[in-house]
Amino acid sequence: MTKNDEIQSVKELLTKYLEEKKYRKTPERYAILEEIYKLNDHFDIDSLYNIFKEKNFSVSKATIYNTLELLLDAGLVRKHQFGKVQAFYEKGFFNKNHDHIIMIDDFQIIEFCDPRIEQIKKDFEEAMGVEILSHSLYLYARKKEKN
Amino acid sequence: MTKNDEIQSVKELLTKYLEEKKYRKTPERYAILEEIYKLNDHFDIDSLYNIFKEKNFSVSKATIYNTLELLLDAGLVRKHQFGKVQAFYEKGFFNKNHDHIIMIDDFQIIEFCDPRIEQIKKDFEEAMGVEILSHSLYLYARKKEKN
DNA sequence: CTCAATGCAAATCATTTGCACACCC
DNA sequence: GGGTGTGCAAATGATTTGCATTGAG
């Protein structure tokens, strides 16, 4: 799937979501979704705001906040809050690797996926009679020093 | 180990830490540590501040922020930031259960510990040649609806 | 006595909110 | 047209900072 195909697909998912919820299909919502899916990296509100600014496409921060909330609810982005006050986001539909290793030296983020997590979740659901809706796992790592 | 023994022990750990780092042994630092270890629950800065206020023991919020940073560095408390802007803390030396289930209905927090996590960490350390310093795992759950 | 630590208030910064206007339906 | 969504600026709330004062070493 090319990046353009991917963008096309998530736009369709957004349309479906907006129609289901009877929300309006505003150009801002599609533009923000598209910009997010063009990015390969994690991003914060400000950098997204600046991308639009550079393109002379006018979107207010309030709208970006609102829209990210909406996309979060639609399941099209993920939100991270690793230790910092400021939240980070990433596109979140096709890249199924849910977990993250944070390199504390340079804050590089590596994604991974380990089936044992899913097993742990299943075990807890059964043991405690609850439904686990989501999870977040971060490993904080640093490159091994050579002594 | 009784709660008093525990408080005694962590105070000694704090002393050791302060001496190593050549920091001063102020009454505030010990008082804050003690209050935290008297609590059984997770807490935020404000509730800790209010505890001192009620006791007419004067500690400023700036000092509480500073001291929590210090205790964090000393490994005597843990910090959480689950989605919210406001951070939560908990005592963190003797209670070895590191992972948390957040009940999204009432924000109740359940602790647990699963050895599979440690195994995942070990595997990654070996596979990627990094040292994993810590991790955080949250499961977001809700009580199962009875249909 | 000296300088690190505290207390207070002001500053900062991310996020939220209120309200007028715009534009999707 | 009607009401939701947007934009802007002001409000909020957690955390940080500056600076004068205190007290640990």
pLDDT, tens only, A66-94: 999 999 999 999 999 877 788 999 998 76
Rounded average pLDDT over A22-26: 97
pLDDT of residue B119: 92
pLDDT of residue A34: 97
Alpha carbon separation from B61 to A4, B42, B51, B54, B58 (Å, rounded): 51, 18, 12, 14, 10
> Which residue among B104, B130, B136 sits closest to A143, beta carbon to beta carbon?
B130
CB contact under 8 A, B103 and A142: no
Torsion region of A23: left, alpha or beta (phi above 0 gives left; psi -120 to 50 gives alpha): beta
**Stretch 31-50 of chain B: residues touching chain A, C-beta under 8 Å:** none
Neighbour count for residue B101 (Cβ, 10 Å): 21
- Strand C–CB B6 distance below 7 A: no
Q: What are phi and psi of B63, to 5 degrees?
A: -65, -40
pLDDT of residue A3: 85
Tell me the CA–C1' distance in angstroms for B27 and C5: 11
CB contact under 8 A, B117 and A121: no
A20 Cβ partners below 8 Å, 6+ apart? none
In the predicted structure, residue B58 carries a pLDDT above the cut 60:
yes
Provide the greatest CA pair distance for chain B: 61
In the predicted structure, residue B15 carries a pLDDT above the cut 90:
yes
In the predicted structure, residue B101 carries a pLDDT above the cut 60:
yes
Note whether A134 contacts B: Cβ–Cβ < 8 A: yes
pLDDT, tens only, A99-129: 899 888 877 888 888 889 999 999 989 888 8
**Interface probe, candidates B65, B136, B138, chain A, greatest A C-beta count within 10 A:** B136
CA angle B106, B109, B115 (to 5 degrees): 145
Return the beta strands (E) in B32-126 as ranges.
77-80, 88-91, 99-103, 108-112
Per the CB < 8 A criterion, the answer to whether A28 and A68 are in contact is: no
pLDDT of residue B81: 86
Model confidence at A64, in pLDDT bands (50, 70, 90)?
A: very high
CB contact under 8 A, B129 and A143: yes
- Strand D–CB A83 distance below 7 A: no
In the predicted structure, residue B125 carries a pLDDT above the cut 60:
yes
CB contact under 8 A, A143 and B121: no
Q: Tokens 């659901």: give the residue.
A: A125
**Structural domains in chain B, sorted by start:** 3-91 (1.10.10.10), 99-141 (3.30.1490.190)
